[in-house]
Amino acid sequence: MSNDNNFEKRGVDYSIKHGERTLPGKYYHDEGIYSEEVEKIFYKFWIYACREEELPNFGDYKIIKVEDESIILVRDKENEVRGHFNVCRHRGTQLCAEEKGSFESKNIQCPYHAWTYGLDGKLIGAPLMAKEDGFNKEDCTLHHCHVHSWEGFIFISLSENPEPFEVQMEALVDKFSDWRMGDLRIAHHIEYKLDCNWKLILQNYQECYHCPGVHPLLSQLTPFQSAQHDHSKGAVIGGFMELTKERGSMTMDGEAAAPPVCDVSGDDLQRIYYYSLFPNMLLTPHPDFVLFHHITPKGPGSITNNCYWLFHPDVIADKTARERIKSAVDFWDLTNRQDWTVCEQMQKGTGSRRFTRGYYSGQEDILLALDKELLKALGHDESN
């Protein structure tokens, strides 16, 4: 979505040069490359997991699946969210089968041999296992998954020694404090299942070269010429577009769906932000609400995309605001489905034996930054 062709990312120049090429088609179809992405990106980077509000009480848990791994996120008695690999230390039995719930006993118990763990992961009960046999409970704490909370969003890293969250997400950390997103709540949720590669969704989200032809209503509300890039640092890439209607928003009629969010003011009342949190989250703060996408790859050619609308609790509780919330949901559901159609068509086209590499326009410099982030993570060299 950028038309600023002079920016840097981790000291590397990603400006568009004449004849800049896209990734080869194999990056959207090859099983071997997808396996590398899982191992080097989704098992290593900080990735979005869920909202804090999905674990409101002591003992509440949610299972987060990352390809073949399963993580238990649970709120402990100190009100902290902990992450544990969903694997018993006895013989590897999966501890939880249900996607979410509450540990009523405030402990985690294996369904096979009843080994029991505290919510902090420490083993507190192992029937018939005795110290005199060389057994030590302290050696059998559940395997830990790193957890970080930012503005009501919970991120996890499956790496044993991940890069600090503040380094990977440096450009994000203090960016949207005026929205106080931790105070917002989920007003609506739609799950989309798409037949395309996960990277095509990120690419589609970060450029508006396609907007005049694909999104006529969106183009009326935010002309694509207004797109500006303002950050490309770490794994955070994004920018904003200007609203044409004063104090408007992205709704079916262009009118705001709610009063400005929390402390949003000034120029931010006329901007829609679009940020990719590489690799699996898209964040779109509006003046009056926040939209975000949670992308879960299901192989090289399939994803689940969970889309959420966040509003202030006072707005959600106001029955007179329901039609305005619906207008925001309807607008983005329409826009999403327009995007999903072209992304699925691109997935099919890039699978052609005649497709090698495409060419980037000057409106697509931010896509080159995404490509570079991917290639750096994989350790690949696809220089022109």
What residues make up the domain containing 115? 47-162
Indicate whether 193 belongs to any domain.
Answer: yes
Instruction: Give residue 231's pLDDT.
Output: 64
pLDDT bucket at 384, cuts 50 / 70 / 90: low
**Tally of domains within the chain:** 2
Neighbouring-strand partners of residue 13: 8
Same domain (yes/no): 132, 216: no
Kindly state whether residues 39 and 55 are assigned to the same domain: no
Least confident range from 81-95, 195-209, 252-266, 362-376: namely: 362-376
Shared domain for 152 and 188, answered yes or no, is: no
Q: Is pLDDT of 193 > 60? A: yes
Residue owning tokens 């979005």? 48
Examine residue 241 and state whether it is found in any structural domain, yes or no.
Answer: yes
Residue 13 confidence (pLDDT): 40
Q: Is 218 among the domain residues? A: yes
On whether both 321 and 245 belong to a single domain, the answer is yes
The pLDDT tens digits of the residues spanning 124-167 come to 999 988 776 778 899 999 999 999 999 999 999 999 999 999 99
Single-letter residue type at 326: K
Q: What is the mean pLDDT of the chain?
A: 91
Residue 167 resides in a domain: no
Summarised one tens digit per residue, pLDDT across range 256-293 is 999 999 999 999 999 999 999 999 999 999 999 999 99
Residue ending a domain, among 162, 195, 223, is: 162
Rg (CA), the chain: 22
Task: Express each pLDDT in 234-249 by its tens digit.
Answer: 789 888 999 999 999 9
- Do residues 230 and 340 both lie within one domain? yes
- The answer as to whether 169 is a domain residue is no
Residues 36 and 141 placed together within one structural domain of the fold: no
Render 192-232 in DSSP notation, one character per residue: EEESS-HHHHHHHHT--TTHHHH-HHHHHHS-GGG-EEEEE
79 and 213 both lie in a single domain:
no
Query: What pLDDT, on a 0 to 100 scale, did the predictor assign at position 17?
Result: 57
Same domain as 359, residue 230: yes
Same domain, 74 and 214: no
Contacts of residue 303, defined as CB under 8 A and 6 or more positions apart, other chains included, come to: 193, 194, 196, 197, 198, 201, 295, 296, 297
Mark whether 32 and 130 lie in a shared domain: no
- Ranges 2-11, 75-84, 196-205, 212-221: which has the least confidence: 2-11
Q: 149 and 17 in one domain?
A: no
Residue 23 has pLDDT above 60, yes or no: yes
pLDDT one-digit tens code per residue, 51-109: 999 999 999 999 999 999 999 999 999 999 999 999 999 999 999 999 999 998 899 99
The length of the chain in residues reads: 384
Residue 70 resides in a domain: yes
Cα separation of 201 and 54, whole Å?
A: 25
Residue 18 scores a pLDDT above 80:
no
Q: Which residue has the higher pLDDT, 336 or 362?
A: 336
Q: Which of 114, 131, 162 is the last residue of a domain?
A: 162
Query: Over pLDDT 90: what percentage of the chain?
Result: 77
Predicted confidence at residue 383, as pLDDT, reads 75
Domain end among 130, 162, 194: 162
Give the CATH number, domain containing residue 144.
2.102.10.10
pTM of the model: 0.92
Residues 22 and 118 in one domain: no
Q: What are the φ/ψ torsions at residue 64 (nearest 5 degrees)? A: -110, 120
Integer Cα distance of 295 and 297 in angstroms: 7
Q: Specify if 259 maps to a domain.
A: yes
In whole angstroms, give the CA distance from residue 177 to residue 285: 11
Which range (177-181, 212-216, 309-313, 341-345) has the least confidence? Answer: 212-216
Is residue 180 within 8 Å of residue 263, measured between CB atoms?
A: yes
What pLDDT is attached to residue 367? Answer: 87
Q: Is residue 3 situated within a structural domain?
A: no
Mean pLDDT within 322-334: 97
What CATH number corresponds to the domain at position 335?
Answer: 3.90.380.10
pLDDT for res 14: 41
